[in-house]
């Protein structure tokens, strides 16, 4: 479930109550970070959904992964087939 709102809409609360006990939720990064800043200077640990047309760029991805905060989980969703 994806929502662009910064508050907690009712569908999110309902999903939390119905999910299995050990289900792990991820917070999605804003489009500002993934689409506008192109993964430069990450601001928070979350799910990073790359733009659908953003082609393979291992150098940029490697730099991004190196500067992420340690001790927490990070997820990258690759949506362009070249990845």
The token pair at 51 is 């733009």
Instruction: Return the DSSP state at 76.
Output: E
Q: What is the mean pLDDT of residues 5-20?
A: 67
Other beta carbons within 10 Å of 71? 5
pLDDT band for position 5 (cuts 50, 70, 90): low
- Is the overall model pTM greater than 0.85, yes or no? no
For residue range 30-75, what is the model confidence (pLDDT) as tens digits? 776 666 666 666 555 568 888 899 899 999 999 988 988 777 778 8
The Cα–Cα gap between 70 and 83 comes to 24
Q: Are 48 and 29 in contact, with CB atoms under 8 Å apart?
A: yes
Compute the C-alpha angle 59/60/65, nearest 5°. 100
């Amino acid at each position: 479930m994806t929502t662009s709102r910064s508050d907690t809409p009712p569908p999110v609360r309902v999903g939390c109550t119905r999910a299995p006990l050990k289900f792990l939720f991820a917070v999605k990064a804003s489009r500002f970070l993934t689409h506008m800043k192109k993964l430069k200077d990450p601001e928070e640990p979350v799910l990073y959904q790359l733009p659908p047309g953003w082609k393979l760029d291992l150098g940029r991805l490697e730099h991004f992964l190196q500067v992420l905060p340690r001790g927490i989980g990070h997820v990258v969703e690759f949506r362009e087939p070249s990845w």
